[in-house]
Amino acid sequence: MNDGCIAAVLRAAQVRLVNSDSPRADAEILLAHVIGKPRSYFMAWPEAALSAFEVAAFEALLVRRVAGEPVAYLIGSRGFYGLDLAVSPAVLIPRPETELLVEAALERLPIKPCRIADLGTGSGAIALALASERPDAQVVAVDASPEALVVAQENARNLNLAVDFRLGDWCSGLANERFEMIVSNPPYIRADDAHLAQGDVRFEPTMALASGADGLDAIRAIIACAPQYLSPGGWLLFEHGYDQAEAVAALLCAVGFVAVESLIDLQGHARVTLGQLS
């Protein structure tokens, strides 16, 4: 087996990615991106040689991954709810747990054509997933970052999905209109949380992650403004931190939301809390 063959290159890369949670997967995803083949190719052709150009291009990505840059930013995409989304450092990388929010939203949307708002849309992940599942719905997606909206709009175009993107801070992106549902995966990490300075999140936009001393500033702001944009019986759904369900439920109850409930993600954390305007 020569040094330039796929199996040897992947093995050497894996050893250098000791600080990653998933060294083998990272190496395979980066190499698959460089050579434009699916990961299954490596199983079929471990002895295949790589060109000098491919080895150099892979090495350039590997050095950045070793320094901590997230794989999704290095390859420029991430899968979410069956959609292939473009991502850049202007947007939070969509997380698998956010699919729980999408599922909870889909279960509660009225059968009839309805209006949905996604506040803090980032890459557009939630809005686009909802638009793809409910082509009859009108989806509005708001973000305070013009750079994020460029990415979200590119995703809508690539996926041929109609979402009305607007620049704004939470409800200020909405006009004089009412929605059957407002969803948000806002920033919810405490500003002093040590995790913000560790691992992959260092490369993500702080405005998409951190939200005040207790991490609840954005959620409080949205709960304060959402009722005037919801139809009677309309739903408000949040993703939040693993230890914030009780606080979010209390905030929803305090302004009169009913049917308040928290949902558990695949890791066993209460990750989504929702309520209905009475």
Contact predicate 47/6, CB 8 Å: yes
Contact between 189 and ligand GLN per CB under 6 A: yes
List CB contacts of 22: < 8 A, sequence separation 6 or more: none
Contact between 205 and ligand GLN per CB under 6 A: no
Rg (CA), the chain: 21
State which H helix or E strand residue 263 sits in. strand 257-264
Based on CB atoms, which residue is closest to ligand GLN, 96 or 256?
96
- Which residues within the stretch 67-96 sit at the binding site for ligand GLN (CB under 6 A)? 92, 95
Min CB(191)–ligand GLN separation in Å? 12
Give the number of other CB atoms < 10 A from CB of residue 154. 15
CA angle 200, 205, 210 (to 5 degrees): 90
Contact between 109 and ligand GLN per CB under 6 A: no
Cα distance between residue 123 and residue 128, in whole Å:
9
Residues that bind ligand GLN (rule: CB under 6 A) add up to a total of 8
Min CB(95)–ligand GLN separation in Å? 5
Contact between 187 and ligand GLN per CB under 6 A: yes
Contact between 185 and ligand GLN per CB under 6 A: yes
Candidate ranges 46-54, 183-191, 222-230, 244-252; the one touching ligand GLN (CB under 6 A): 183-191
Based on CB atoms, which residue is closest to ligand GLN, 62 or 209?
209
Contact predicate 237/105, CB 8 Å: yes
Contact predicate 122/143, CB 8 Å: yes
Based on CB atoms, which residue is closest to ligand GLN, 28 or 204?
204
Residues in the site for ligand GLN, rule: CB under 6 A? 92, 95, 185, 187-189, 201, 209
